[in-house]
Amino acid sequence: MATSPTTTPLRPDPTPLRHDFGLEELESLLARPLLDLLFEAQLVHRAHFPANAVQLSQLLSIKTGGCSEDCGYCPQASRYDTGVEREQTLAVDEVLARAKAAKEGGASRFCMGAAWRSPKDHELQPVLEMVKGVKALGLEACATLGMLSEAQAGALKEAGLDYYNHNLDTSPEHYGEIITTRTYQDRLDTLSHVRGAGMHVCSGGIVGLGESRRDRAGLLQALANQPEHPESVPINLLVKVGGTPLAQVDDLDPFELVRTIAVARLIMPKSYVRLSAGREQMSDELHALCFMAGANSIFWGAKLLTTPNPSGDRDQRLFQRLGLSPLVPGA
């Protein structure tokens, strides 16, 4: 695959970053004519990022299953019968071998996920060694391990972690319909600890949970109105897994996914907007619309934790059809 292009942004964007978006304002943006929304989002995107470059991350489950939370979408929750078996934390050497392969495959960021509500300090120790090893390979390091204390966030930062992922999932109002074992404030507290430790924040949500358009506006509001925008904003499309409470929820209109990505680009113009879970069920045409809307990061590889993701060959063919190349941060 070709190296990252050096396309000059289309135009300067002097608009100051905002953290005061109103819910009605965001609802209005989501309701705009789709082609107008795509046009504006692409202009903002080109003001801050190369036009035809997509950042590639790879995600590995380093500890699978057995989570005590009740997230209604998650196959790793121990209370749901989804066929996902509880596994022990992977050995450090195995994780680093996977990270090396990810880099050789074109990834610039390696993300490690563990199905914990909140890691115990002794559980965090091997993760710290993984982070150090990933950094030694020349990759950006990301982790998603559940809720963190201030001290744990500091330890991860000291080990070299670049990004910590902790999604808000949905709007504050819809949240209780999806999760009851962790509050919205718990999630915001973890993000505060991550930011306070000096790490980059990776935080987004899931669409297709049975939420309303107003809830999607509420999620975007909660993300953009933080004191600093998340540097990475994953937008996930629900992957319906048998045995979870959301397995039978109605499918989301795919244009709502595109609208959500476009508004995320407009209101968080300097953030990476990652097209995340759900890509396996998306057509190439829908992928193209999402990239036009300002998505400029994907997970690369055939598996996301426990759910399927497009193969590298399929993504490579898609990149060739669309004229896209991997983006190398800082290049």
So which residues are the catalytic ones? Answer: 67, 71, 74, 111, 142, 202, 274
Beta-strand runs (E) in 154-246:
163-165, 200-202, 205-207, 232-237
Q: How many residues does the chain have?
A: 331
Beta-strand runs (E) in 117-259:
140-144, 163-165, 200-202, 205-207, 232-237
Which of 239, 261, 259, 260 has the alpha carbon at shortest distance from 249?
239
φ, ψ for residue 211, nearest 5 deg: -80, 165
Cα–Cα–Cα angle for 50, 265, 144, nearest 5°?
95
Report the C-alpha gap between 239 and 72 in whole angstroms.
11
Report the C-alpha gap between 181 and 272 in whole angstroms.
29
Task: Identify whether the C-beta of residue 264 lies closer than 8 Å to the C-beta of residue 233.
Answer: yes
Task: Identify whether the C-beta of residue 237 lies closer than 8 Å to the C-beta of residue 286.
Answer: no
